[in-house]
Amino acid sequence: MNSMQIRRTGIAVAAAVLLPFSLAACSGASGDTGAAPGATATAGGSAGTDASSPAGDAMTMDQPFGPACAGVPKEGAGSFDGMAKDPVATAASNNPALSTLVSAVKQAGLVDTLNNAKDITVFAPTNAAFAKIPKADLDKVLANKELLTKILTYHVVGERLTPKQLENGSFETLQKGMVTTKGSGEAYKVNDTAAVVCGNVKTANADVYIIDTVLMPK
């Protein structure tokens, strides 16, 4: 009888000692198994978000964009870095694709006006944009300072505009007329007629959107 009691007591004690360790081991294994995938998924999700989302978009949208940007000099005063250091009329004078615009700005006596303006946006027509206008008509415009000033100031908005603002915008120009913009990503139109061919170009006092058509105020 004493022997049986001792044996039962021994079994009970062994069970009492081993059971907590078994439960702990099971709990630990289960916890580890659940935690590892969770940690991996979180790390993977976080890395994916950081690589592709807001920071990536912000970085992209902060840079010049558009097909004509490839024609901008890679270095020197006419490069993107060079233009960022100069006020807008001076910066444009260093960009070969804007030489007709620069001549028109000089003809209208607007160099100082544009260079001294603070935080503006300029929709800058390329040489090819001016070439779309019949030469006789363009000569008449260039010879009429009042009309030329009216046209050129219609290309200037009194605030810096981001690509996001161009998605569906309406803005008053220095000429007091309104320009409308629409688009997304890297494709934008101004007044439904002019396409932005190189956008978000920074100068010391302006954001420049180079366009393929001259805008005409009403």
pLDDT per residue, tens digit, the chain (218 aa), is 444 444 444 444 344 434 433 333 444 444 444 443 333 333 333 333 344 434 444 444 589 999 999 989 899 999 999 999 999 999 999 999 999 999 999 999 999 999 999 999 999 999 999 999 999 999 999 999 999 999 999 999 999 999 999 999 999 999 999 999 999 999 999 999 999 999 999 999 999 999 999 999 98
Name beta bridge partners: 157: 121, 173
Q: Which residue pairs from 185-192 have beta carbons closer than 8 angstroms and sit at least 24 positions apart in sequence?
A: 186/65, 186/66, 188/163, 190/123, 190/215, 191/215
Q: What is the largest CA-CA distance in the chain?
A: 127
Q: Give the domain ranges of the chain.
A: 2-52, 64-211
Question: What class has domain 64-211?
Answer: mainly beta
pTM confidence score: 0.73
